[in-house]
Structure 1
Amino acid sequence: MNQGQLEKIKNGKGFIAALDQSGGSTPKALAAYGIPESAYSNEDEMFDLVHEMRTRIITSPSFNSDKILGAILFEQTMDREIEGKYTGDYLAEEKGIVPFLKVDKGLADESNGVQLMKVIHDLDETLKRANERHIFGTKMRSVIKEANPEGIKAVVDQQFEVAEKIIAAGLVPIVEPEVDINSPEKEKCEELLKAEIEKHLDKLGDDQPVMLKLSIPTKTNLYKDLIEHPKVVRVVALSGGYSTEEANAKLKENDGLIASFSRALSQDLNADQSNQEFNEKLAEAVESIYQASV
């Protein structure tokens, strides 16, 4: 683990950009960017287009380490190059931004009011490749929809079980048990979730740092104890479907919580924009998310 990068993520001012939409959500991400499904005829072409979109974002002068601490990549993006360097190296060396990798394989079917992660069969191989590509940490997502204690416990147990393997490989895991912002029991879900996370954090060793990525809580500053926990490097928030304005407003109310937004970062970007217009729109989004994070 790179100590300089650890220090930056722990104490730096800014937020973490999520650029990790994967297979299933790629058509949606491209459509939002102004590229319809009719523009590509197979998966390879689709992934080429999404890499062009991400390259445009990452190489933009607006995407820099003044405001952005880290960026979460999809596996394909990690294995591709930007200006002749692997994406992780480009981020770290050219931009001073810490690279993370999404390692989950998507969600299992709902059971007990939650969606666990699908089994990650090739985790060891992926972590090995992540190390070769100079990735600092990982991210994995599950979803909680109901205040079902059994379901929420299963989500957190699974997250930390995988997190320990990631730590053992020398990477810092971002544990992401998302609470659905549309859940009628959102606040109750969050209380149960916090209690389960605390149990696991207390069992970790001093050399087992983790990050948490959580939905912005209904009760302001609910996660203050998690933010201050000695085992936690940083707690970041997902936008979860809120608009940029709404997500930023809610984030501002929570001390020490910083953003890790994807849609909110890119919602005003379009393939047809001139570079100047594109860079201006990205700069506006970066600035607003940064202000909400600090």
Structure 2
Amino acid sequence: MVNQQQADKMTSGKGFIAALDQSGGSTPKALRLYGIEDSAYSSEDEMFDLMHQMRVRIVTSPVFGGDRVLAAILFEQTMDRAIDGKPAATYLWEDKGVVPLLKIDKGLADTTDGVQLMKPIPDLDELLARGVRNGIFGTKARSVIGAADPIGIAAAVAQQFDVGRQVLVHGLVPILEAEVTISIADKAEAENLLRDEIAKNLEALPEGQHVMLKLTLPSVANHYEVFVEHPKVMRVVALSGGYSRSEANALLAQNTGVIASFSRALTEGLSAQQSDEEFNATLDASIQSIYDASVAG
């Protein structure tokens, strides 16, 4: 059953979503950007331990809290670990006022019809039930669009909604993420196709059910405006998608009612070598700039 206090915050609160869900292949790059080279660990377990330490440093910082950060997306291993002696999701909500969300996809399949669908998610119902027990509010699953191919985009959106319906059965709110690669030549055309497919699938969603949409910052400002006030969409959020934080913030501010769900852009400038004072000051400036862009519209 959806936590109504958390639902209210996600629906109308001011702020943004911190995407702290790097996993698998994206983890080494995230650690390198944080100043930790590959030579600092010799196993996957050690790598994820270092990644957890980075996440803990972020969320326990005095500048990280529910006044500006609405929610945080967690990697499955983060949900299963403790922060300051408490289960991660419990710590986020009780100590920080930040709504806990969970990344559920298992990565991307090979490209077909211009898109990368999600790989199968084995034991998804068990994971979702575990998320409920851990106090998770919602989920996120990602696929990638690499061309304006109508067949591929229709398949990607259909898969997103199929997984979303499975999430909704457990009383969780799904974030459906079909990322359009920012470097493709036909990005604007792909975004037109994506908008039409999302609208079609939303119409088929039963009344009273809600999803969130996580989308690439569009080539045309307010391209996804129709979803911002849609009765079945709790929130429209934007990913940074390879833009620098300053570029992403500038584009986000042009899209009324859309808030950030940034990962790399959030942690840009943070380093394991910084003192706590330097780290907190850098994180504070990052959070404030993303918050400002998220509430600009």
Taking structure 1 as the reference length, what is the TM-score of the superposition? 0.99
Matched, 1:80 2:81: yes
Whole-angstrom distance in 1 between the partners of 2:158 and 2:205:
13
Whole-angstrom distance in 2 between the partners of 1:247 and 1:162:
28
Q: CA deviation at 1:44?
A: 1.0
Whole-angstrom distance in 2 between the partners of 1:206 and 1:69:
25
Q: What amino acid does structure 1 have at the position aligned with 2:96? A: K
Structure 1 segment 1-294 matched on structure 2, within 5 A: 1-294=2-295
1:188-239 alpha-carbon deviations (Å, 9 max, x no partner): 0000000000011111122311000000110111101011110000000000
Whole-angstrom distance in 1 between the partners of 2:230 and 2:178:
17
1:124-168 alpha-carbon deviations (Å, 9 max, x no partner): 111011011100000000000111000000000000001000000
Whole-angstrom distance in 1 between the partners of 2:45 and 2:145:
32
Q: What amino acid does structure 2 have at the position aligned with 1:81? A: A
The SS at the match of 2:262 is coil
The SS at the match of 2:135 is coil
Whole-angstrom distance in 2 between the partners of 1:227 and 1:121:
32
The count of aligned residue pairs is: 294
Q: What amino acid does structure 1 have at the position aligned with 2:224? A: Y
The SS at the match of 2:213 is strand
RMSD (Å) for aligned C-alpha atoms? 0.5
Q: CA deviation at 1:34?
A: 0.4
Whole-angstrom distance in 1 between the partners of 2:91 and 2:208:
28
**Identity fraction in percent:** 61
Q: CA deviation at 1:22?
A: 0.4
Q: CA deviation at 1:24?
A: 1.2
Range that drifts further, 101-110 or 199-208: 199-208
1:259-290 alpha-carbon deviations (Å, 9 max, x no partner): 00000100110001000000000000000000
Moved over 2 A (4+): none
Whole-angstrom distance in 1 between the partners of 2:56 and 2:179:
27
Q: What residue ranges of structure 2 are gaps of 5+ in the alignment?
A: none
1:95-142 alpha-carbon deviations (Å, 9 max, x no partner): 000000000000000010000000101201110110111000000000
Q: What residue ranges of structure 1 are gaps of 5+ in the alignment?
A: none
